[in-house]
Amino acid sequence: MATITTDDAQHVATLARLEFSDADIEQFTHQLARILDYIGKLNELDTTDVPPTSHPLTLRNVVKEDVAKSSYDRDVVLDGAPRAEEGYFEVPKVIE
């Protein structure tokens, strides 16, 4: 089994800005060790004839044709807004 300590698991949690109980850290330590063991097994495979891929399946981009169409009337939409100012929705400031 891979050598990973609870300090290692706590360090990973800290890097991810997560807080866990001691029991959770123990569980994650075991799980991380098993993941590293599995990666070790994968590293033993001969992949010299396997081309590098970013995805196991062939990806195809599906796009729709851009079609201009009418939009809602601004005044009608703003009539339903709680607050509007100068033709725009007025919202509370969220960034200081």
Q: What's the mean pLDDT in 4-18?
A: 94
pLDDT at 9 over 90: yes
- Is residue 48 situated within a structural domain? no
Residue 93 maps to a domain: no
pLDDT(61) > 70? yes
Q: How many domains does the chain have?
A: 1
Cα 83 to chain centroid, rounded: 34
The reply to whether 26 falls in a domain is yes
32 domain residue, yes or no: yes
> Does 67 reside within a domain?
no
Outline where DSSP puts E strands in the chain: 84-85, 88-89
Residue 37: domain span: 6-43
Q: What is the pTM of this model?
A: 0.49
Task: Return all residues near 2 (Cβ < 8 A) that are at least 6 apart.
Answer: 32, 33, 34, 36, 37, 40
**Is 34 a member of any domain?**
yes
Query: For residue 8, how many other CB atoms are within 10 A of its CB?
Result: 17
